[in-house]
Structure 1
């Protein structure tokens, strides 16, 4: 039985391709996943990383690619499905900021609301053949204008203006996980998917100001500008279930700092190349 990853151009899929253990996996695009049947021959596990961005404007069943993909899997009883979901399904964190799989989801963001609807639909459809991973803030080297996450905005600003701007308190702690680390954790999950829900994150909260500092350290220069001291959306994921089932260790502050500094250093090289061609 083979493992198929749907969403071959995604950041996570690209990181998975770099892992030697995935050499025998098949990576396909979302169109092939819905229009072709050849890829279904001999498949044992499907990891979906594709998502219709139109759903960010509001959920519609007709636009839910994941639901359509699951319908193709439903009549194949030997195929297991791994859904990549989001910590936004939980909604705002309270008390100790730790988000647990057992708590009642109360999503606020449109993306989280839609992901919860999809989770519930797939659970009803696939039952014990479904594994859901709710992921924290995943980051990698992204500088495209189309990317609007924290790291992409910070890296673009550091590259263009030698500055990172925070519109929040630099003391707000969030759970950040490098995509390379996530990829290494997804491999045992895809190879031996267990039914149920698993959080995947660093397991620790890190101040956003520290993240900015480490990026600047790697870049070699730059400044941090804080324009607002509001405190919002602090969270960390409890990864006890993933640790117990798959031995996933979480991430240390030291390791996270090294990943951020490496991104800053890579950005510095990008800057030198741009200047060289100017």
Structure 2
């Protein structure tokens, strides 16, 4: 929980969807819940937590809604890896297709009351069973095998943003909401090999193995629109490095318990 949002009301998705959830008293909803089945299969309205919440709030014209979307709604980035809100959305992955459909349906229900945040790769301490993100796989492999394995070139750059930074930004966005679609990311790419190196440095041991040199899924988000709308301060590249090292140190400490 970020200090700036300490007085917010937090509900689990089941509680929020229940008839007695008490949404009558809110003026903004920020939904972080997602049915994991929508990451792997075709879109189904019944699985869409955002849609079900928006349907309940559609008639409440004073309530604003913030949806956490994904950069995967764009589809593959072009040469240079830049993704900007004016790009045509051509998602290929089921997850990107599903979230783009959610954006469309929520827009029809809420209009300018809807803020869509298309997120980059959000990272934190993700040594959690079942997680399949880049950081979850890397931390789990480092803990279990003493190595991080990349199936792509270590020079592939992707946009990584810490969950702590995102939490602070959400508090800022809640203070000055604006309708529309906005990218949220670091605003620059970091080589995946560097991410692995910094995790290993923080952990204090380990090796990096590269099994394929393919150039795959490089991207970075142009966040100029969000900076102008919400007044957020972007992280420096050095911050990403230190955050990765801190995660490696935490993994080492967890092993000592």
Both structures adopt the same fold (TM-score exceeding 0.5) = yes
Alignment of 1:10-159 (within 5 A): 17=1, 19-56=2-39, 57-159=41-143
Cα distance between partner residues in 1 of 2:110 and 2:63: 10
Quote how far apart the aligned CAs of 1:42 are.
2.1
Instruction: Report the more deviating stretch, 113-122 or 39-48.
Output: 39-48
- TM-score, scaled to structure 2: 0.97
State how many pairs are aligned: 256
SS class of match (1:28): coil
Cα distance between partner residues in 2 of 1:126 and 1:246: 20
Quote how far apart the aligned CAs of 1:221 are.
0.7
User: Equivalent residue for 2:256?
Assistant: 272
Query: In the TM superposition, what whole-angstrom CA distance separates every residue of 1:96-133 from its partner, at most 9, and x where no partner exists?
Result: 21100011101011000000000001011100100000
Quote how far apart the aligned CAs of 1:38 are.
4.4
Cα distance between partner residues in 1 of 2:4 and 2:240: 23
Quote how far apart the aligned CAs of 1:145 are.
2.1
SS class of match (2:209): strand
Q: Does the 8 Å CA contact 1:204/1:251 hold for their aligned counterparts?
A: no
Aligned CA-pair RMSD: 1.0
Aligned: 1:248 with 2:248: no
* Structure 2 stretches lacking a partner, 5+ long: none
Cα distance between partner residues in 1 of 2:202 and 2:16: 39
**Structure 1 residues 31 and 38, CA, compared in 2 at 3 Å: closer, same or farther?**
closer
User: Equivalent residue for 1:235?
Assistant: 219
- TM-score, scaled to structure 1: 0.90
